[in-house]
Amino acid sequence: MNKFLHKVMGKWKLVAIVVSVLLVLGAVMQALFGFNVAPTVGDVKTLTVRYESNINEKSDALIEELCETKIRDADIMEKYHFTSNLSGEKVHEYVYTFSAEVDGEKLEVAKTALVTAFNAEKVKEDSPLFNSFIYVSVNEVKAVATLANGFVWRAFLALGVLCIGAFAYSAIRHGVNSGIMTAVSGLLSVGLAIALTTIVRIPVTGSVAYTFAFAGLLTVSVVSLFMGNVKKALKDPENAEKTEEDVVLQALDQKGMSYFVVALLVGIVLLGAIAVTPIAWLAVSAVVALVSSVVVSFLLLPGICAVVKKVEKKAKDRKGKYQGKKKEVKAE
């Protein structure tokens, strides 16, 4: 791990280029295509079956079986489906949701096939749907609004203030340069998370903003810890002869940070693996946010930090020599 990080640290400029390219690509794709909006919040087409009779397990199962068969036969694939109850559970709706791009004609074919199938069942005395009232409709649903007023700009403002707050705290505790590195890391990791989510086309809802906040919070806290370690390590007389790169690497607490990142990754994957689809997609976004944070905090920042600390040391040494000269002149 030490050798790997040492190698990467030496190539921080390459990492910076890769990150920049991803940010630019993400920005371009955002401008052209935006996010890949999840079907629960974007434009969709629906096939709805309304059942206005007393529902039981058999009728429920038969309706679902017929719907799935006829949809499959029409060569179209649903994104998801759900059931809803109206009129105090006297009316049930089965809503099958499709992409907005699905062929409308195929949807009508599925509808016609379903109507025929239900009509056949309604006249069969031994059928669970005998004499029942069932209606089928196909609709186009265009999303008009899904987020609270000002959600997007306030989310960005909040993330910006987060970075400013992190800068202020880090600057007071560890110096202005550390503060700048903390804030910039936070912004970069959020930007990279947004870019990767756009590029990889992860289906998003409004809750994707939570994963961006997760990236920002994780990065600023880890970097703040790291800056404290660097400051302490540079002050340690044992490290006086070491290069800035070695001191920074030592301050990275590789073992602990590795366990931390792995534990987070396992936790997020567990969340995505065991929970339902929208949470699974959120978990994928969260993994992307974690990856962004790791790239910025462990692959990019150490190299930049070493360079900054070198420059700081040179400036300090120059100041020391200058004072020395002044003292000499005074002595004369």
Which residues, numbered 77-116, are part of the site for other proteins (CB under 8 A)? 80, 82-88, 91, 93, 95
Q: Which stretch binds other proteins (CB under 8 A): 14-22, 168-176, 306-314, 319-327?
A: 168-176
DSSP 127: S
Look up residue 81 and give its two tokens.
């489906």
- Closest by Cα among 179, 183, 171, 215 to 197: 215
Shortest gap between Cβ of 50 and other proteins (angstroms)? 5
- Residue 297 as a binder of other proteins (CB under 8 A): the answer is no
Enclosing H/E stretch for 98: strand 91-99
Provide the pairing of β-strand 44-51 with 80-86. Answer: unpaired
Shortest gap between Cβ of 299 and other proteins (angstroms)? 19
Measured from the Cβ of residue 312, the count of other Cβ atoms closer than 10 Å reads 15
Amino acid at 251: A
Q: Which is nearer to other proteins, 267 or 324 (CB)?
A: 267
DSSP 243: -
Return the residue of 53, 169, 199, 307 that touches other proteins, per CB under 8 A: 169
Shortest gap between Cβ of 9 and other proteins (angstroms)? 21
Q: Which is nearer to other proteins, 14 or 270 (CB)?
A: 270
Return the residue of 264, 307, 310, 312 that touches other proteins, per CB under 8 A: 264
Return the residue of 162, 193, 202, 296 that touches other proteins, per CB under 8 A: 162
Q: Which stretch binds other proteins (CB under 8 A): 10-18, 217-225, 307-315, 321-329?
A: 217-225
Q: Which is nearer to other proteins, 192 or 220 (CB)?
A: 220
Quote the strand ranges of 166-315, DSSP E. Answer: 203-204
Shortest gap between Cβ of 283 and other proteins (angstroms)? 8
Size of the site for other proteins (CB under 8 A): 88
Give the footprint of other proteins on residues 225-244 (CB under 8 A): 225, 227-229
- Residue 57 as a binder of other proteins (CB under 8 A): the answer is no
Kindly give, in sequence order, each residue whose CB lies less than 8 Å from that of residue 29, ignoring residues fewer than 6 positions away.
195, 198, 199
Kindly give, in sequence order, each residue whose CB lies less than 8 Å from that of residue 291, ignoring residues fewer than 6 positions away.
196
Shortest gap between Cβ of 24 and other proteins (angstroms)? 27
Angle between helices 208-235 and 301-331 (to 10 degrees): 40
- Residue 130 as a binder of other proteins (CB under 8 A): the answer is no
Q: What is the DSSP string of 53-79?
A: S---HHHHHHHHHHHHHHHHHTT---S
Shortest gap between Cβ of 266 and other proteins (angstroms)? 7
Return the residue of 56, 131, 137, 243 that touches other proteins, per CB under 8 A: 137
Q: Label residue 302 exposed, middle or buried (CB < 10 Å: 0-12, 13-18, 19+).
A: buried
Q: Which stretch binds other proteins (CB under 8 A): 29-37, 135-143, 233-241, 320-328?
A: 135-143
What is d(CA 168, CA 162) in angstroms, rounded to the nearest whole number?
10
Give the footprint of other proteins on residues 178-207 (CB under 8 A): 182, 205-207
